Amino acid sequence: MSTFTQLGEKMRAVYGRYSNGIDMAVKFLLALFSFFWIRGTLGFNPIFSNPVLLLVLAVLCMIFSLTAIPVFSALLIVGQSFSLGLDVGVVTLAIFLVILILFVRFIPEDALEVVLTPLTMFFGFAALVPICTGLKRKISAVFSVACGVVIYYLMATLSRESKNLKTLAASDYADRLQLVVRGTFSSTMVVNLLALMAVLVIVHAIRRLGFDYCMQAAIPVGGLVYLMFVLLGDAVLGTDIPIAAALIGTIGSVIAAWILLLFLLPLDYSKTEKMEFEDDDYYYYVKAIPKAAATKEEIRRLHPDLSEDDEPGDEDLDRVDLDEVNFEERLEDSLKNL
């Protein structure tokens, strides 16, 4: 456990130094990965599959905010779908417009889940994004996850039915439209949508309860909720979600979420402090859980060859003895300055 904490500390120190560059690099890589994944899954149109175009779009995403990635991804998907026929393109555009109108207005600003949900679903780790989102983000992120699920099934349908759509004549628009719409809004999609939304809501609710190790408890509960929905869906609606793959993917999601939690939010529950105090307007109940941190000695033990000058920065490693800190006094002082 302390190894993860120490690695997390080092990563945070490095990120603190080079955050601008790292943010841009992450945006570029995520955009590139998403665009090439769309190219690999759909890839019907040579223009929208051109690697140079995708590279240019990824560079633009590096410069703009995170919102640019789902926007460009949507444009690429719509562009690819028009290669299968005007009617298919119009239906794809209509689905994206419905998502934009009904859901995008209520989702958080950066909408990272809209991009990550289809990616993780494609690789079989469907529960990973809702679990992590429930631990870290606001409840309104459930709309982002829902949009991601719909987009995933839209892409899966276009990919699966591309041969049939190319075979059917343009005049058989009834059959073509039915293939796309019914394939996207299938019972499997509905079960997955409800399952992932429920996972996010339940994980978020458990996290908000605030008991010790609530986040660690929320992760496996989220995994169980997803599996429960999948099994119920299979029993009631006869969905074609492979149970074994769902089980393996869920276990992988839970493990990955646990590791991410250790890296991103290592809390030391053994040093929890509870306090009560009041000011003119409110009575406060405060629970403070310190973040677990590697000490200077532990870092030096890991890297005995590092000199004093090579360490990330002493200010990053200075740690106050928590027993000597009067949290109540410091909190009162900070509130007086509001």
Partner 1 sequence: MNLMRVSEMVHLTRYEEGKGGAALKICKYYKGDYVALQMIKSFFLTTIAFFLILALAAAGNINWFLEHFDQMNLAVVGAILLISYIVLMATYLAVTFVTANIRYGKARRSVRAYEIRLKELGDNIRYASPDAAYGKRSGR
Q: Which residues bind partner 1 (CB under 8 A)?
A: 91, 94-95, 97-98, 101-102, 105-106, 173-175, 177-178, 180-182, 185, 336-338
Measured in whole angstroms, the distance separating CA 158 from the mean position of its chain's CA atoms is 24
Residue 268 vs 329, nearer CB to partner 1:
329
Report the nearest approach of partner 1 to the CB of residue 280 (Å): 10
Cβ contact 292:5 at 8 Å: yes
Residue 298 vs 332, nearer CB to partner 1:
332
Residue 50 vs 178, nearer CB to partner 1:
178
Cβ contact 129:145 at 8 Å: yes
Cβ contact 23:279 at 8 Å: no
Report the nearest approach of partner 1 to the CB of residue 97 (Å): 6
Report the nearest approach of partner 1 to the CB of residue 31 (Å): 22
Cβ contact 300:9 at 8 Å: no
Cβ contact 167:211 at 8 Å: no
Report the nearest approach of partner 1 to the CB of residue 333 (Å): 9
Residues facing residue 278 across a β-bridge = 283
Residue 104 vs 289, nearer CB to partner 1:
104
Give the Cα separation of 38 and 24 in Å (integer): 21
Residue 39 vs 176, nearer CB to partner 1:
176
Residue 273 vs 332, nearer CB to partner 1:
332
Report the nearest approach of partner 1 to the CB of residue 109 (Å): 8
Q: How far apart are the first and last CA of the chain?
A: 38
Question: By CB neighbour count within 10 A (0-12 exposed, 13-18 middle, 19+ buried), where does 324 fall?
Answer: exposed
Report the nearest approach of partner 1 to the CB of residue 15 (Å): 19
Stated as kind and residue range, the H or E segment containing 283 is strand 283-288
